[in-house]
Structure 1
Amino acid sequence: MSTPPPSPLPGFTEGAQVIHVPGDRPPVDEFSHVVYSQVRNGPAVRALHLILLVPRTGAPKPAVVYFPGGGFTSAAHGKFFEMRAALAAAGFVVAAAEYRTVPDTFPAPVEDGKAAVRYLRAHAADYGIDPARIGVLGDSAGGYLAQMVGLTGDEPAFDRGDHLGESSGVQAVATLYGISDLLNIGEGFGADVQRVHASPAVTEALLLHGPAFGDSAGGPVDRDPAQARQASPVGHLGGPKPPFLILHGSADQLVSPVQSRQLYEGLRGAGQSAEYLLVEGAGHGDGPWYQPELIGRVVAWFGRQLGRG
């Protein structure tokens, strides 16, 4: 319990309403435009950025990397501020990461996600991070990326770029209405939606094969089922994995709840720790996902898995 500050000199309080505000909640500093990776694209070099929220406390803190959704075509990492701010207020360092999207192809986004984790470990002392307590969080396509980063922690094939002496493994994964299997994103929807996901122009097909251009013919996702499986979280369920929190809306019309159910069943069938929450009436990234009750559940789960700062 904090002690009220000393009273001001006599006369200073005349006409004022004197209030007492505890000072037990630490301030949070924001670091924008932090370059965590530089990737070559032909003769050009692209810088990839983080937005960091860092509680101003002395003890080493757990960290959560947030990957934004965007249908594999955008990675606007300034979104979902409500969730990021709540995590920071609870004592987590929060790093929102942009990553490469279409027209870049797999495994580019996974390489970027793992590079972001390695950057935090390499700079743990700079931001007061405990490198042994790092989690990932994402929504939609960002949920897919959080799943892939969490499930491939022991697979060096996806580690590219800087800080390769650091581990890209994480200790907790939360995925919101994410994608677990690129081969059946339309599962559970009607025939019209199924035809969309069978198209070579759908974004998951572009992620795998790129557009038809030059020597590349492009193609639908199932042009190469083995490649699609390798690019899907459900293709990486073997071996020890971090605990998972899986959330999906029952009324999602863009990414079927089947995606989250099959991830949950796959993890549990492999003997892994997983919790699955179906949010009644919630759609894809709509109002319920920004409410304090839901955000509080995610924050509390990370607190149980990673501890607090």
Structure 2
Amino acid sequence: MTLFPRLLLLAALATSTLSAQTKVKKPDAVDQMAAKLTPTRTVVYKRAGDKELAMHIFEPAGHKATDSRACFITIHGGGWTGGNPQRMFPFADHYTQQGLVGISVQYRLNNAKAGVSVYDCVKDARSAVRYVRAHAKEMGIDPEKIIVSGGSAGGHLAAATALFDKVNEDGEDLSISTTPNALVLLFPVIDTSKEGYGQAKIGDTWQELSPVHHVRSGLPPTITFHGTGDTVTPFIGAKNFHEAMLKAGNKSELVIHEGGVHGYLMSDQKLFDETLARSDAFLSSLNLLK
């Protein structure tokens, strides 16, 4: 092969490789819904160093500060290192349509170079709930009707609001509880051991942030959705968590999707709708949803 054709071939291969590397993941069902949604307003709930953290608030029609509505807080996943609040807009919006205040929370992302750990992610999730409780009156929210939900790493952070009482941001009023009145966990990181997910990111103290290792009596009623085919956050962790919750005398439901891979309900509109319907029934049984 002469030099010129060889250069053309190398250029074509380089272009093909770059195209493959920069190919954007096709939006799934939840992404498509999220792209059409805009929060009513955005509020900064915390400043961490020079970073402002926001909560994206969806308010039902006619909502007033004098109301006392239940609140649905949702937290995005992404292995604590990625993702964004927009991903969970459809969940917040769903409950806004039913008269609740919906909130999708931003948190710092785990980044060792920037000095942000998974502990900081946990602190932010707990700060968000504490902020809502502290400002419930001006936000038109009932402080005793707060539901926290999340998917994957966001599910871990949702559980963290109820479980990890010793992990708090310095200077916050610890008399304001971060424990929600119910949890809705979607394929969560629930076991951070080597059999689960997250040990490498958390480090030697992984057990301090492992929900399944911190189950005790008095935890909020919890519904967990998990697929048996999940190899990212293995199903056995959700099963063990559910059984430990029941053994401790807590209310727990485990909704099993046979063969479901990680995030299964996010890519299928029918499964998404079924998940919300099952969540609705669970929350209605707790008088958190009319």
TM-score by structure 1 length?
A: 0.72
Q: Alpha-carbon deviations, 1:202-261, whole Å to 9, x = none? A: x6423x24xxxxxxxxxxxxxx3xx21111112321241111101101222322111211
CA distance in 1, matches of 2:229, 2:282: 23
Matched, 1:150 2:131: no
Contact 2:231–2:262, Cα closer than 8 Å, also in 1: yes
- Residue in 1 aligned with 2:47? 38
Write 1 or 2 for the structure with the bigger share of helix. 2
Alpha carbons of 1:161 and 1:78: their partners in 2 closer, same or farther (altered >3 Å)?
farther
Contact 1:159–1:168, Cα closer than 8 Å, also in 2: no
Among residues 62, 80, 93, which one is paired with 2:101 in the alignment?
A: 93
Contact 1:171–1:306, Cα closer than 8 Å, also in 2: no
- Residue in 1 aligned with 2:225? 247
Alpha carbons of 1:229 and 1:277: their partners in 2 closer, same or farther (altered >3 Å)?
same
Q: Which structure's relative contact order is higher, taking Cα pairs within 8 Å and 6+ residues apart? A: 1
C-alpha displacement of 1:180 = 1.3
- Residue in 2 aligned with 1:301? 282
Flag the structure with larger Rg: 1
Give the percent of matched residue pairs that are identical in Structure 1 and Structure 2.
27
C-alpha displacement of 1:124 = 1.2
Contact 1:138–1:146, Cα closer than 8 Å, also in 2: yes
Contact 1:243–1:273, Cα closer than 8 Å, also in 2: yes
1:240 aligned counterpart, secondary structure:
coil
C-alpha displacement of 1:185 = 4.2
Matched, 1:128 2:148: no
- Residue in 2 aligned with 1:60? 68
Aligned length: 244
CA distance in 1, matches of 2:139, 2:226: 32
Contact 2:108–2:121, Cα closer than 8 Å, also in 1: yes
C-alpha displacement of 1:285 = 1.7
Gaps of 5+ in 2: 1-36
* RMSD between superposed Cα atoms in Å: 2.3
C-alpha displacement of 1:150 = 2.0
**Runs of 4+ in structure 1 over 3 Å off:** 159-165
Alpha carbons of 1:280 and 1:303: their partners in 2 closer, same or farther (altered >3 Å)?
same
C-alpha displacement of 1:266 = 1.4
Gaps of 5+ in 1: 1-27, 187-196, 198-202, 210-223
Matched, 1:180 2:190: yes
1:86 aligned counterpart, secondary structure:
helix
1:49 aligned counterpart, secondary structure:
strand
Amino acid of the residue matched to residue 228 of structure 2? S
1:79 aligned counterpart, secondary structure:
helix
Matched, 1:80 2:58: no
C-alpha displacement of 1:263 = 0.8
What is the correspondence of 1:1-309 to structure 2 with a 5 Å cutoff?
A: 30-40=39-49, 45-55=50-60, 56-57=62-63, 59-103=67-111, 104-152=116-164, 155-186=165-196, 204-206=199-201, 208-209=202-203, 224=204, 227-286=205-264, 287-288=267-268, 291-308=272-289
Contact 2:73–2:149, Cα closer than 8 Å, also in 1: yes
TM-score by structure 2 length?
A: 0.76
